[in-house]
Amino acid sequence: MYRAGDVIDRTYRVSRRLALGGAGVTYLVRALGNDAQEYGPWIALKLLFASRDHGAYLRRLSTEAQILQELHHPNIVEYLGFVHRTGQSPYLLTQFEEGGSLLDHMKRVGTMGVREAAGVGLQVCLALEKGHAQGIIHRDIKPENLLLRGLTPKGDVPEIRVADFGIAKVSGSIGAGLTRAGAFVGTPQYAAPEQFVGHPASDKADVYSLGAVMVFMMTARPLVPKAHTLAAEDVYTSLMEVIPPTISRQSDTPEDCDAINQILASVMSLEPESRCSVSQLRISLGEFLDSGEAAQPQTEFEVSSPFSSDKALFTSSKAAVIGHLTPTLRDPAMVEAALDSAATYVHTDIPPTAIKESAPSVPKGSQRMGSMRRALVVAGVLAAIVISAVSMHRVVEKSYPWLLDGLPVVGTISVDAVTAPQLGARARSAAKLASKRGRANFRRDCPESKGQTIDMEVVVGLDGSIRWARALDSSLDGAECVARRFWGIGSGNKLKQATKVRLQIQP
């Protein structure tokens, strides 16, 4: 391993390590001149380990170099060179992208809106279209392999470059024989269903993977939780129950959600023949983005003032909201943001200057009493804020529990088990079936839960899968582990309406 300041191949000085993989490591470097001074742009140098600098690993790196050399495109990382000389492990040079990966971006800004995801998807389509036209299938589209040209603030669409063609499939002589027949390649969380049953990845596999990445951008959740830990046939079975997915985001309009769901349905079909091509996806995303600016959902608050019947006036500083606060949005993350930006009610029947000029002199004892009254008022306001926050949290927890983590939902969710007992019975039946299907996973991933009886509260989605779960007594051994592992397990039953129910689980 090289450290900051070390020199690679007497040519490049290391600034820091960018990534570490099973076959090698990528460093941020700059070239050195004859005077040993750095010059030129920052470079990403992918270096194979000495134990991996031959055979299949070397062929894959050299194949990636040849692919990048042929694919000159604004949305594909820029090839700068490939070096393989005696006494030095081979390395690939590409332009360094300062914004990091799409996954890094999401860690900074959180989930992305429907139109942001569409904007990223459109750029990836352009890159894939270039590759597909030359017989190159990427086979590993995932957030880590989508790089940003620069740091991008939340709400803006980042400029994307597709990277890491190391396991790409190429028609013709380049890369022939790199992958044995029937071998799985790619990343399970984003791989197409046919890859889990040993079928070769076609260009339609890239289309599906891009759809899966777009779902992750909008929800921060993979379609199959912990897919990398499951047997291939189990992942395939799970995908049969959850695709095509539907997105429900409170921060986007229903019209935009419906539009992106129609696009996802054409992208993420179980059978490759039923999916659109990357060119058709590019056209669909372009038409969606050209359809006009998305209307911004309004964050509305009803504030009843103790001073006046008029609408409250707000200052720009962060302070208390006096009165009764009723959020009309169901997303607690947005409610919290609105509280952070809200301020104090200002009642100004008389200008402040007039108050100062006309105020009579007050004895010191009265001043002290006035200070005490003001302190009591402030304490009361703070208490009211805390009570309001707790009350809102309880309302959300009771009626919209899946929103407590601040993430959007895959699938349209509502609760009506109280007013529709029959629906609740069907949902409970589905939840019990899902718990039986997940029992092997519970025992494998949560061994400490064996022998426990866990009271669980779950939300069963329209497709019969578990969209949210929590243990009512988290102190039980393995209870929280089982709750987390319960997410995403399907029952095979369909519901007319997603429902929250309670049941007992015995892992």
In three-state secondary structure terms, 326 is strand
Domain boundaries, the chain: 7-95, 102-289, 301-357+378-403, 413-505
Sorted by sequence, the CB contacts under 8 Å of residue 194 that are 6+ apart come out as 200, 201, 205, 271, 272
In the CATH scheme, what is the code of domain 7-95? 3.30.200.20
Mean pLDDT of the chain: 77
> What is the average per-residue pLDDT within 384-402?
54
pLDDT above 60: residue 134: yes
Q: Which has the closest alpha carbon to 462: 403, 404, 415? A: 415
| Model confidence, pTM | 0.61
pLDDT digits (tens, 9 = 90+) for 227-237: 888 888 888 88
> What is the average per-residue pLDDT within 394-400?
47
C-alpha to C-alpha distance for 372 and 382, rounded to whole angstroms: 15
pLDDT digits (tens, 9 = 90+) for 47-103: 999 888 888 889 889 989 999 999 999 999 999 999 998 888 999 999 999 999 999
pLDDT digits (tens, 9 = 90+) for 200-216: 889 999 999 999 999 99
Is it true that the peptide bond before 244 is cis, omega within 30 degrees of 0?
Answer: yes
Class of domain 102-289: mainly alpha
> What is the average per-residue pLDDT within 106-116?
94
C-alpha to C-alpha distance for 25 and 46, rounded to whole angstroms: 6
Long-range (24+ apart) CB contacts under 8 A made by 256-264 are: 256/114, 256/115, 256/294, 257/114, 259/114, 259/288, 259/291, 260/114, 260/117, 260/118, 260/214, 260/218, 260/288, 263/118, 263/288, 264/211, 264/214, 264/215
pLDDT above 50: residue 297: no
Q: What is the DSSP letter of 48?
A: E
